[in-house]
Amino acid sequence: MKCEALALEVTSVVLGASREFLAREGFIELLPVILAPVTDPLRTTPEWATVSAYGSSWYLTRSMIFHKQAAVRVHPKIFCFSPNVRLEPVERAQTGRHLFEFVQLDLEVRNAAREEVMDLGERLLLHILAEVRRECGKALAKAGREIPEYSRPFPRITWHEARREFGEDFELVLSQKSETPVWLVDFPIDQREFYDREDPERPGILRDMDLIYPEGYGEALSGGEREHELARIKARILRQGLSLDAYAPILALAEDGLPPSAGFGIGVERLVRFVCGFDHVRKVRLFPRVPGERALL
Ligand code: ASN
């Protein structure tokens, strides 16, 4: 089977297995939001994609984080296959992990703690991998790829420990050295966005996490608990040097009442890249959007 066909088949199994698993867990699927008056600040991606319509400017959604926080007011467990546009710097085309248009499976759970969504993330990933092995195992083997069986709970390491042990480029080194998916937890407050909840018992440390793939494939999933109280959200926006005006819709939501929640997003193309063992995530999409490259279709 050609690479392309294999990737499409695996993608389709990943989508189906995720939906089936999440439905069983009591989640409902939201339709994605593509245009938004406010979107994820993502300070490591400084350029914004906008379109104008009816006299206003709209962002192309960078993540549905705020929509997820709003949605759990209506239903306790939601997910969405969310197309995101992030104008990554051109050099990120070389990482093998960046597309400027991609899809993440983004989910959120009302009143959940970080540990609950970590448990869910492990079970979701193992279910997807089992389904992929069952449906595409032969085709993958032909392409020289076999996914090992992983057991849970996955190991965890804190951001500070990882940094101490593996140096500046700790995420990549951790991923290269690991033989199983591994959790990176407890990021320092200034490493992440204002919506990541600060641990009330450990000021300066967040109740958040990333899941890192083994074999050097890098980040699989990113998420955590959310700041949901108006005063805290305001303080965090200001701490990051952002303007309260720019995030007025979030402040209005919080004033109206946002429930505590936790969740994460898992990059679909990166997951398929890992499953297929591709050197670059571009091979996953039939119509890839690689930073700095023109597309024919
Ligand atoms: N999906 C991520 C989360 O749930 C946010 C992001 O994509 N930046 O935390």
Tens digit of each residue's pLDDT (9 = 90 or more) over 189-206: 999 999 999 999 999 999
- In a domain? residue 291: no
- Give the chain's domain count: 1
- In a domain? residue 297: no
CATH number at residue 27: 3.30.930.10
- Mean pLDDT across the stretch 262-291? 98
Distance CA 294, CA 288 (A): 10
Q: Is 267 near ligand 1, meaning CB less than 6 Å away? A: no
- Give percent of the chain above pLDDT 70: 99
Contact 198, 227 (CB under 8 A): yes
- In a domain? residue 210: yes
CA of 1 to the centre of ligand 1 (A): 34
Q: What is the pTM of this model?
A: 0.97
- In a domain? residue 176: yes
In this prediction, residue 1 carries a pLDDT of 64
Q: Is pLDDT above 90 for 2? A: no
- Mean pLDDT across the stretch 100-109? 98
In this prediction, residue 86 carries a pLDDT of 98
Q: Is 178 near ligand 1, meaning CB less than 6 Å away? A: no
- In a domain? residue 254: yes
In this prediction, residue 110 carries a pLDDT of 99
- In a domain? residue 19: yes
- Choosing from 39, 42, 63, 82 the residue with most ligand 1 atoms within 8 A of its CB, the one to mutate for a pocket test is 63
- Choosing from 101, 222, 264 the residue with most ligand 1 atoms within 8 A of its CB, the one to mutate for a pocket test is 222
In this prediction, residue 3 carries a pLDDT of 72
- Segments forming the whole domain that contains residue 69: 3-284
